[in-house]
Chain A
Amino acid sequence: MTVRNSLLALLAEQPMHGYQLKQEFERRTGGTWPLNIGQVYTTVQRLVRDGLVVPVPQGETGPAEDVPVERFRLTPDGEAEAAGWWSRPVERGAPARDELAIKLALAVTVPGVDVAAMIQAQRTETLRSLRDYTRLKASAARAGAAEGADLAWSLVLDNLVFAAEAEVRWLDHVEARVARAARAGGLRAKASTDATGASTPSEGATGPRATGDASTHHSTAAPSGRRGAP
């Protein structure tokens, strides 16, 4: 749907051929989501089939064309569809599949996973990409004035920046909730760990860590334990 609507929006500006559509899409989004040329043509063919786009008849594209490349333009229905995209909010009904959310949901239910360590590793990784986006943004800002496409790319980068920030905040929240849940169910969890006898060094580290900040002495034991693990 995104590619389809984007191509309609681009064609609303002027008729274009397939490769031009690909280039314009990538230029305005800073190459963040590269398009496959085959995907562009397949989508255009579907738009033609649905009566939203028609090929521009040969000869109308101007006599200076060396190579006859097929250009496409919107039909009145296509124009209505393109205009409708701007006025319709993007649907958020069905959440996209998010590997991290799924991984965490499984981690808190599968026994023996060091959730705290997993959260910290993710936080570090997300902050790394946040830093990279920030640097790209700074270099984009240095490189040029607020020309249309530069502004567009910088806004796309902002989107990635804010999404990464939200992810870090969510991880903080998850960490606090997991720690609280562990405090509440601490005795129960300890009893079951002792029963299975599964006390590897890394699992041993989750114990005091997961019980949270009740005492400095306890909770600091975990990270150093983790560092000592292979």
Chain B
Amino acid sequence: MSLGPVLLRLAGVGRTHGEGDLAVHALRDVDLEVRVGELVAVMGPSGSGKSTLLNLAGGLDTPTTGTVTLAGTEVAGMDARGRARLRRRSVGYVFQDFNLVPALTAAENVALPRELDGVAARAARTEALDALTAVGVAEVADRFPDELSGGQRQRVAIARALAGPRRLVLADEPTGALDSVTGEEVMQVLRARVDAGAAGLLVTHEARFAAWADRTIFLRDGVVVDTTGFAPGPDELLAGSTRTGRGR
């Protein structure tokens, strides 16, 4: 797999809440790059800074130190409105509890953020149907969320996150509410969408889902304590497949 341009760059990012003796360092000195075609997982115990990292990456929060660059634009220099616009154009979110609007159909849910961004209704619907097709649930386009299974809802959420020109998906425990087989299917979809030209940052506490990422970084007390590094190429993997046993 060849990686594309950097979509998200965190350089020396820190986030402190409060001041002086009361200061809490939610995140310290984090460097991270996510490129097109790349899925990066973040693991760590609760309170380790995973959510702070995701909020900073999506421009929902601004760092105390360091810089966050989203789709080539540095977030720090922007006002709240500019950040909101950048977010709508560049970033999509996937949450554990799906966050679909119950009164809207699947297609309307996917089209909504695009319409908010000024895209004409008809064009937004076309984009939505394309996005739903890409995640394999085109047939449920006109159904409401409560008529969908958990796996289908999460696919719709992934479609919404990557509808139109958006290329960065931030996923917060996207498999948390799903059973193990459905969770795996959702990860497959997320992986496929990233491989097709998106970038993803995935927060999870489940190693089995983090394993779908190209690399995993481990956070602890706001600091990156380790990373798996990049995955080996397929040739290397297949060469190794005959010795995957533990050899006791």
* A residues whose Cβ falls under 8 Å from a Cβ of B: 30-34, 96-97, 120-121, 123-124, 126-136, 138-139, 141, 160-162, 164-165, 168-169, 172, 213, 216-217, 219-220, 223-224, 226
The reply to whether B227 and A220 form a contact with Cβ atoms under 8 Å apart is no
Cβ-defined contact, B226 with A131, below 8 A: no
Which residue of A is nearest B24, CB measured?
A: A216
What's the Cα separation between A41 and B211 when bound, in Å?
39
Q: Verify if B28 is at the interface (C-beta below 8 Å from A).
A: yes
- Whether A216 lies near B221 (C-beta < 8 A) is yes
Q: Which residue of B lies closest to A26 (CB)?
A: B242
Show 27 residue pairs from A and B whose CB-CB distance is below 8 angstroms, ordered by the A residue.
A31-B241, A31-B242, A97-B248, A123-B226, A126-B207, A130-B207, A131-B210, A131-B211, A132-B232, A132-B240, A134-B208, A134-B211, A136-B237, A138-B191, A141-B188, A165-B206, A165-B207, A165-B208, A169-B207, A216-B24, A216-B25, A216-B222, A219-B221, A220-B222, A223-B221, A223-B223, A223-B225
Q: Is the CB of B245 within 8 A of A131?
A: no
Decide: B241 and A30 in contact? CB cutoff 8 A: yes
CB distance from B29 to the nearest CB of A (A): 8
> Within residues 89 to 107 of chain B, which ones have a CB less than 8 A from any CB in chain A?
none
Give the total of B residues in contact with A, Cβ under 8 Å: 38
Contact between chains at B207 and A120 (CB < 8 Å) = no
Across the interface, A224 reaches (CB within 8 A) one of B208, B218, B223, B227, namely B223
Q: Mark B229-242, 1 if CB is under 8 A from A, else 0.
A: 10110100110111
B144 interfacial by beta-carbon distance below 8 Å: no
Q: Are B228 and A128 in contact (CB under 8 A)?
A: yes
A172 and B45 CA atoms in complex are apart in Å by: 9
Determine chain B's interface SS by DSSP, over half rule: mixed
Across the interface, B218 reaches (CB within 8 A) one of A123, A132, A135, A141, namely A123
A127 and B223 form a contact (CB under 8 A): no
A131 touching B220 by the CB < 8 A rule? no
| Residue on A nearest B21 in the bound complex, by CB | A217
Residue in A closest to B228 when the chains form the complex, CB atoms: A128
8 closest A-B pairs by CB: A168-B207, A130-B211, A134-B211, A31-B242, A165-B208, A223-B225, A220-B221, A131-B211
Contact A139 B213 (CB under 8 A): no
* Centre residue among B208, B231, B243 by max chain A CB count within 10 A: B208
